[in-house]
Structure 1
Amino acid sequence: MISKLWSILKPHLFALLGFVAIVIIAFLPMFSKGLTISAHDIMQAKGASHQLSEYRELTGEQALWMFNMFSGMPAYLNGVRFSGDFLDDVQKLLHLGIPRPAQIIFLTCLSFYLMLLAFRVRPWVAFIGALIFGFNGFNVIGIIAGHNAKIQAVAYMPLVIAGMKLTFDKKWLLGLSVFALGLGLNLHADHLQITYYLLIITILYGIAEFVVALREKHAPVFLKSAGVLVLGAVLAVGANFGKLWTVIEYSEHSTRGQKELTKVSENKTGLDKSYAFQYSNGIFEPLVMFIPNVLGGASSTPLDRDSNVGNALRNAGYNGAQLDQQLQNIPTYWGDQPLTAPYYLSSALLLILVLGFLYASKKERYWISVLVCLAIVLSWGSNFAGFNDFVFDTVPGYNKFRSVTFTIIMAMFGLVLISILGLDRFISDENKNQFKKLKTAFTISGGFVLFLLIFSAFLGYKGAIDQRIGADWFVEALRDDRAALFRQDIWRSIILILVLVGLLWALIKEKFNQTALLAAVLLLFTFDVVGLSKRFLKDNVFKRKPANELAFQATPADQVIMNESKPAQRVLNLQNPFNDAGTSFFHESIGGYHGAKMMRYQDLIEHHLSNEIASVISGLQEGERTFDNIPALNMLNTRFLKAGEGKNAVLENKKAYGEAWIVNDIKKVQTPDEEIANLDEVNLKETAIINATQFDVSQNLSGSGSITLVDKTPNMVKYKTSTQGGNSLGVLSEIYYPEGWTATIDGQEASIIRVNYVLRAIVLPSGEHEVTLSFEPNSYYVGAKVTLVFNILVLLLFLGAISFETRKYFKQA
């Protein structure tokens, strides 16, 4: 029995060790020097979540509200944890202790390998497919950019399809367990955009299976399989119920939700189309999957001294270190996007891609072709406006996501899948049509690459950035280098295709030892994909302890503010405040960095804060330090402004309204447009603007007095009030959020009112009272209980399925 078990597990253990070895080679500085990847988005996330981590370490509780970014917002998308969420522990077991983010590439390889095994691909061929998909440019470049959650969601896509395949093959228990676990892990990654694309893949695959079932009169079997998959989806959603509930709840109040300002949005939901389509592939850009430098590669590429640009710079007087510095960031990209990097797959993949379509069944050919074409067309965004405008405006949920170039991951998934299926069937072709199909594949793939080589002579290599460069001598040299990069990658592809054809031909003719030939094919693809990855995984990508970099070292300016500030006194960094979470690491910030800000706060930024910040900067440039005409910033209690990092770069704003204040004058308006417009029309220190159609303040307000902050944590804010002369309205310099916040006055429940478009307010009775606001959302606390129950069910199901299949196998053996 042990020898039988070893014979079964041996190829998979070797594959596992192979993935580990190649990941170590690709990410060597992480393993040899203890370095990590210092990505911009990861650094921003550390700044944003620092307050949450501190609170968790100090109290053992979760901080559900973060008041250090954008004056306050829910913390659901910044690392909130749910008790009973065991999927995180499952993931830790799967990545075998490999450090993050290299572990994500390993998990992607492992997941794709398991999917190919479910499609009955032999292990060594599955290993090749897993390498190609695991080390694709979408994944590697995404990790370098710090998009770890996105790539982690990609990592589990194949596992979901594996579960579907097993289910449609009538292995219902195993299919159910794999599908539920895979989808549960995908949802756990917290990147619903990738899950949305996964949904598209599953729908197309499901339709293909349904059509075949109807044709073969197996509809009842298909319906049973579909029912099993629906059950698996319920289990996966339940295992992430808390996460999904909180995120969906928040999304309705975020920039992904309903826009309230009718003058600019016409009450549409989702993102603005121009924002969503800002990054759109050019028509020929998907070619980078096979020829990465077809459009010059990344937006900026280091060139060597012998390049055309290097020679031109030397002729212009640059030399030594100055020359090397100039050559580090050359704008070689000449496509349509403002910033990009090539989402490559493999230069040699073209050959086996053609084999894939030659050997594919009609079902596979149709659904994968539709998937690939749809993904490519969607990635074109504004460059294929008619179709993409229709999809954006009509398909539910699609307008919640930006960067339509990300849809290309669906094409990459389909292309690798059909290619590897083709390679596997080519090797075991019993009809002895191998040579004919290999010849066809070589003619098509080789002919296509040869056409690109000839076509390269007729291109102008002109980029939009060229007009901003100015110097004709530099632009001419730059275009020559773009052409050289293009041709180098074409020749690379030609050589790899020729070598691969030779190996596969030798395999057909049995010219050499079959094991040696298969090993050579594997090495060729390893060289191809890892070689492309190393173009981007250079030594300068890896850093030591990125959390201690300059961004998170308290500057003299930070020290001054920390010494002088009190809770709820906010800080405005005048340097790019709304795209930098560094200030949030130390202070309660007016700005921050987040992909889904609260909608009303974004409105405030666009209609008031940006203008007021520009006014402050203009005044400072003219030597003025008055802060009277910035009502929105003052109502947010902007006590300190950072104009730099030095001690003298801190400006104190004594005009800020404070953490809370009393008013007894109300201006009632009828629409959100009137709410935000009136922020400039009234004295916000004395008058509160209230939308009378949503909030009722019928009490007579005649009181006066004071309201003082006495305690503030991420989940609670407490005040003392001392008023006289009747009821009054206490305006709190805290961001209003309608879900989860409750208020009490001396223990008695009170209503929270939204005033001044974004702030909270409470009607206060006369006298001395204690006012407490607590953030206890049901979406978190009830969601956590549901999450626990379904996590247990998913794990028990998976363990039970593995045990059942193991016992069944050995009984049959």
Structure 2
Amino acid sequence: MQQQEGFKKFLPHLLIIGIFLALSCAFCYPQFQGKTLAQHDINTWLWASKESRDFHDKTGGTILWANNMFSGMPEISVNSYAENNWFRKLNMLFQLNDHGKTMPTPVPYFFMAMCCFYILMLTLRVNKWLGLIGAVAFAFSTYNPTIITAGHTSKFMDLAYIPVILSGMIWAYRGKYFPGAALAGLAFALFFDSNHLQIIYYSIFLFFIFVVAKFVDALRKKELKKWFFASVLIGIGAIFAFLASSSSIIQMKEFAPLSMRGKGSELTEGGKKKNAGLDKDYAFSWSNGVGECFSILVPNLYGGSIDENIGSNSNLGKKLSDLNQPEEVIDQMTSHVSLYWGPQPLLSGSVYFGAVICLLFVLSLFIIRSNMKWWLAGAALLFICFSMGKNFSTLNYFMFDHFPLFNSFRSPNMAISLASIIFPMLAIWALKDIFEEKISKEELWKKLKYSLIITGGLCLVILVATQTMMDYKSMGDERMIQAYGQAGPDIVKAIREDRQSAATTDAMRSLVFVLLAGGALWAYSKGKTNKNQTIIALGILIAIDLIPIAHRWLNEDKFRDTEEYMAENFEPSPADAQILQDKDPYYRVLDLTGDPFSNSKPSYFHKTLGGYSAAKLQIYQDLIENQLGKLNVPVLNMLNTKYFIIPTQDGKSGVQQNPAALGNAWFVSDIKWVKTADEEMAALNGPSLQTPMDTTAGNFNPTQTAIVRDTFKSVVGNYNFGKDPAAYIKLAPNGYAADNLKYESNNTQPGIAVFSDIYYPTGWTATIDGKEATVFKADYVLRAMKIPAGKHTIEFNFHSKAFETGKTMALIGSILLSLMIAAGIYFSFLQKRIRKLL
């Protein structure tokens, strides 16, 4: 009988979980019609990680160096595997992630987001049906479907796990020390493993604010011992979780100082060294405008995205019809319109929390009696201010210049996503207090009026502003005017009218939802409806408010036929297939059909000079900005660029072989010593691929001379070297592996060999005939060695101490956290027994 009662107790929760699953599947229904969601960043990862995934599938091992992008870089910046971290496997199971063997489905992400937020709602002792509503509000806040469409799954999962971390912290501070710390520790392990460092960084502010708020509350209640014990256990759980997920984090810490997000370039501008971290203009490119932040209330206030389907009945469609354009042209042009006109370079969708949620959030500030509401609301405001970036420079430039690691991240607009957790949290908390009658119905109506005046009034102000104060001009309008010639001004004028129409319509829409939600609560306050009826009404309003807006940016148009999609993205083009006929295991390719340094697709098929990474090696970024971007011929040759993929007149691509590629290694006749990074970079100057006969561009000859910084003079010493006419150094048969390279050399004289491999001072070791040898940097980015006279075997091996340390730490952390979780479960049942005895 007790078991039946226990099952009945959990039956509503199982039903709600079933609703979450059904809603996730329904929202992503094209997935079940043989279609794949086109997620650019997932493709980017699949292309970039191809070499390491193939190696892992074949051997079960892990390579730590990626040769298929940017001429070589640490693999940790591209891909990583669970090394002794069994929480990683749990995390991947939750996401149905098989590490690239099949294309991911968006269903588990929405399901997990709702489940995680539902746990927070139950922790706050919210009615389960209100918890369901809050979970839907969080999951379908439009930032989430937008980032899923883009393929930012690690960001999504980190956001999803934050409510569970908060749940564990709340439990611990309530006195359920071990169960709370164990839950927080488990969530922290999944959170750290998802490893979106910028979201992790911003969340630290939230957790810190929460802990300080609890400290102030404990101080007021004279319960500092409880606060201290709970905080220590939460901290221990977080440390264990960090250790479990530390393999990739420790490796990134090793790599970060040498990346473009680390110590900065040694090159100078105007005689001054650049600041460490990211360039400020680059870091703040994606900054929310001040007015744009009100999109949390009015979704299309700034146009939504750069790719909107506005239909042939739009102002643009009518204008095109007036210009006698055929229907197919009208349909094509109106289905891909840049409605976004805000200050950011581009946007895939606005961040909309929901008009009803915004009303309830404002109401919560009047209703909730716990001081925690002010701490949480203040945190939400802080994250909104962070998201403004350069548009709130007083705060954000100060943080960038002075606060640790703040200058390591770009796209501050994502900070607003942390507020998307707090808004529904406080909104549903307010409903909980209302329906538990912690406030009288008379007082409710009084506070509701204030909230309606604030939220509805803001909608009205925005509605008026859409007609009177906004110009709807985009940074890309001038390009469109030029592209469409004589008709350009009329076409852009029509698009601006559509932007205005979208903003006006959504402002009116939000006002209606605010009034309807206010009406539902008014009816409850006046006794015209009961609690259940009001919950149902509000739940329906929130779902109708949010889900259709979320569908704007994740809909059937974002899905593609799977077979066509796979062929388009993962099958070699005729040009790729032609190059792949070359069975040489180690040469490089430069794809000039687009921007080679922002596209990793060529790296799926070849070892390339380009790719995509927001954290490539700083020395290589310097080379891109100063030489590779100019297509410097000698530099291309020294990087063993054997093939170019070039655009052809028929709009396709062709292959051009480069006979001047220098191969994997060569002997030089002399060294040119330079004192600074600027001198070293300048010494590489040479003619461009576009102007190969330009003798004024520079005369760098990598086959003859190695450019070396004088800091390596102690390595080279008074070494007399040269090369005979028959001297050679080349890759040995079967001598290629990404992190293990073997060369054969023959030279009757002692020589200096330069290798077309990227110099990386941490991890790479070299031997000559099995004896340790010293490597030094040449030509700004390459490796060089002293090679004795005669025949020799040279071998490079990459071993990362950080990787080995990370494996050990991950094992220790996984064991300790598992023990803590077991203790949490034990104490949870023990507390229940004690309560029964009492």
Following the alignment from structure 1 to structure 2, what is the Cα–Cα distance between the partners of residues 256 and 35?
37
Aligned residue among 169, 185, 190 for 2:174:
169
Following the alignment from structure 1 to structure 2, what is the Cα–Cα distance between the partners of residues 69 and 77?
11
Partner of 2:744: 720
Give, as a single letter, the amino acid of the residue that structure 2 aligns with 1:548: M
1:587 aligns with 2:592: no
User: RMSD of aligned C-alpha atoms?
Assistant: 2.1
Deviates more, 1:33-42 or 1:336-345: 33-42
Following superposition, the deviation at residue 516 of structure 1 comes to: 4.1
1:255 aligns with 2:260: yes
Partner of 1:623: none
Aligned residue among 636, 639, 645 for 2:639:
636
Partner of 1:59: 59
Give, as a single letter, the amino acid of the residue that structure 2 aligns with 1:569: Y
Following the alignment from structure 1 to structure 2, what is the Cα–Cα distance between the partners of residues 703 and 131?
72
Q: Is the 8 A contact 1:333 1:463 kept in 2?
A: no
1:339-350 to structure 2, matched below 5 A, reads 339-340=346-347, 341-350=349-358
3-state SS, counterpart of residue 793 of structure 2:
strand
3-state SS, counterpart of residue 760 of structure 1:
strand
3-state SS, counterpart of residue 252 of structure 1:
helix
Following superposition, the deviation at residue 547 of structure 1 comes to: 6.2
Following superposition, the deviation at residue 390 of structure 1 comes to: 0.9
Partner of 1:148: 153
Partner of 1:270: 277
Q: Deviations over 1:111-153 (max 9, x none)?
A: 1211222222222212212211112222110111111121122
Q: Is the 8 A contact 1:334 1:461 kept in 2?
A: no
Following superposition, the deviation at residue 97 of structure 1 comes to: 9.0
1:685 aligns with 2:692: no
1:740 aligns with 2:740: no
3-state SS, counterpart of residue 643 of structure 1:
strand
Give, as a single letter, the amino acid of the residue that structure 2 aligns with 1:83: E
Structure 2 stretches lacking a partner, 5+ long: 99-103, 482-487, 686-698
Q: What is the TM-score when the length of structure 2 is the normalising length? A: 0.91
Deviates more, 1:502-511 or 1:292-301: 502-511
Partner of 2:731: 709
Deviates more, 1:70-79 or 1:389-398: 70-79
1:309 aligns with 2:316: yes
Q: Deviations over 1:726-763 (max 9, x none)?
A: x2122111011111111111221111211111111221
Following the alignment from structure 1 to structure 2, what is the Cα–Cα distance between the partners of residues 642 and 552?
17
Q: Is the 8 A contact 2:264 2:618 kept in 1?
A: yes
Partner of 1:444: 454
Following the alignment from structure 1 to structure 2, what is the Cα–Cα distance between the partners of residues 708 and 26?
56
Partner of 2:413: 405
Aligned residue among 470, 476, 480 for 1:469:
480
* C-alpha spacing 1:244/1:761, structure 2 compared with 1 (3 Å): same
Q: Deviations over 1:664-698 (max 9, x none)?
A: 42222222222222123542212222222256211
1:572 aligns with 2:577: no
* C-alpha spacing 1:653/1:760, structure 2 compared with 1 (3 Å): same
Following superposition, the deviation at residue 474 of structure 1 comes to: 2.4
Following the alignment from structure 1 to structure 2, what is the Cα–Cα distance between the partners of residues 280 and 780?
35
* C-alpha spacing 1:472/1:45, structure 2 compared with 1 (3 Å): same
Give, as a single letter, the amino acid of the residue that structure 1 aligns with 2:747: T
1:532-551 to structure 2, matched below 5 A, reads 532-545=549-562, 548-551=566-569
3-state SS, counterpart of residue 258 of structure 2:
coil
* C-alpha spacing 1:243/1:496, structure 2 compared with 1 (3 Å): same
Give, as a single letter, the amino acid of the residue that structure 1 aligns with 2:516: V
* C-alpha spacing 1:79/1:682, structure 2 compared with 1 (3 Å): closer
3-state SS, counterpart of residue 679 of structure 1:
coil
Q: Is the 8 A contact 2:673 2:708 kept in 1?
A: yes
Give, as a single letter, the amino acid of the residue that structure 2 aligns with 1:268: N
Partner of 2:463: 453
Deviates more, 1:449-458 or 1:124-133: 449-458
Following the alignment from structure 2 to structure 1, what is the Cα–Cα distance between the partners of residues 711 and 92?
50
Q: Deviations over 1:237-264 (max 9, x none)?
A: 1011111111111111111011233413
Partner of 1:129: 134
* C-alpha spacing 1:603/1:96, structure 2 compared with 1 (3 Å): closer
* C-alpha spacing 1:232/1:547, structure 2 compared with 1 (3 Å): farther
* C-alpha spacing 1:466/1:83, structure 2 compared with 1 (3 Å): closer
Following superposition, the deviation at residue 461 of structure 1 comes to: 3.2
Following superposition, the deviation at residue 632 of structure 1 comes to: 0.9
1:475-490 to structure 2, matched below 5 A, reads 475-490=492-507
Partner of 2:695: none
Partner of 2:800: 777
1:21 aligns with 2:22: yes
* C-alpha spacing 1:717/1:95, structure 2 compared with 1 (3 Å): closer
Give, as a single letter, the amino acid of the residue that structure 2 aligns with 1:774: N
Following the alignment from structure 1 to structure 2, what is the Cα–Cα distance between the partners of residues 648 and 42?
24
1:754 aligns with 2:777: yes
Q: Is the 8 A contact 1:581 1:593 kept in 2?
A: yes
Following the alignment from structure 1 to structure 2, what is the Cα–Cα distance between the partners of residues 402 and 519?
41
Following superposition, the deviation at residue 87 of structure 1 comes to: 1.3
1:552 aligns with 2:555: no
Following superposition, the deviation at residue 431 of structure 1 comes to: 3.9
Give, as a single letter, the amino acid of the residue that structure 2 aligns with 1:466: D
3-state SS, counterpart of residue 717 of structure 2:
coil
Following the alignment from structure 1 to structure 2, what is the Cα–Cα distance between the partners of residues 35 and 523?
29
3-state SS, counterpart of residue 690 of structure 1:
strand
Following superposition, the deviation at residue 703 of structure 1 comes to: 4.1
* C-alpha spacing 1:547/1:751, structure 2 compared with 1 (3 Å): farther
Aligned residue among 433, 443, 454 for 1:425:
433
Give, as a single letter, the amino acid of the residue that structure 2 aligns with 1:244: I
Following superposition, the deviation at residue 282 of structure 1 comes to: 0.9
Aligned residue among 795, 801, 809 for 2:824:
801
Deviates more, 1:353-362 or 1:71-80: 353-362
Following superposition, the deviation at residue 599 of structure 1 comes to: 0.5
Paired-residue identity, %: 32
Following superposition, the deviation at residue 92 of structure 1 comes to: 4.3
Following the alignment from structure 1 to structure 2, what is the Cα–Cα distance between the partners of residues 788 and 89?
13
Following the alignment from structure 1 to structure 2, what is the Cα–Cα distance between the partners of residues 642 and 463?
38
* C-alpha spacing 1:60/1:699, structure 2 compared with 1 (3 Å): farther
Give, as a single letter, the amino acid of the residue that structure 1 aligns with 2:416: I
Following the alignment from structure 1 to structure 2, what is the Cα–Cα distance between the partners of residues 169 and 115?
14
Structure 1 stretches lacking a partner, 5+ long: 614-629
* C-alpha spacing 1:369/1:480, structure 2 compared with 1 (3 Å): same
Following the alignment from structure 1 to structure 2, what is the Cα–Cα distance between the partners of residues 748 and 96?
47
Following the alignment from structure 1 to structure 2, what is the Cα–Cα distance between the partners of residues 12 and 277?
43
Partner of 2:696: none
* C-alpha spacing 1:357/1:188, structure 2 compared with 1 (3 Å): same
Following the alignment from structure 2 to structure 1, what is the Cα–Cα distance between the partners of residues 297 and 503?
11
Following the alignment from structure 1 to structure 2, what is the Cα–Cα distance between the partners of residues 804 and 415?
33
Following the alignment from structure 1 to structure 2, what is the Cα–Cα distance between the partners of residues 49 and 542?
23
Partner of 2:220: 215
1:351-390 to structure 2, matched below 5 A, reads 351-361=359-369, 363-390=371-398
Partner of 2:33: 33
Partner of 2:630: 611
Q: Is the 8 A contact 2:140 2:550 kept in 1?
A: yes
Give, as a single letter, the amino acid of the residue that structure 2 aligns with 1:144: T
Q: Is the 8 A contact 1:242 1:783 kept in 2?
A: yes
Following the alignment from structure 1 to structure 2, what is the Cα–Cα distance between the partners of residues 211 and 648?
65
Give, as a single letter, the amino acid of the residue that structure 2 aligns with 1:434: L
Following superposition, the deviation at residue 7 of structure 1 comes to: 4.0
Following the alignment from structure 1 to structure 2, what is the Cα–Cα distance between the partners of residues 27 and 669?
59
Q: Is the 8 A contact 1:460 1:479 kept in 2?
A: no
Q: How many residue pairs align between the two structures? A: 795
Q: Deviations over 1:565-605 (max 9, x none)?
A: 52221111112111111111111101111111110000000
1:6 aligns with 2:24: no
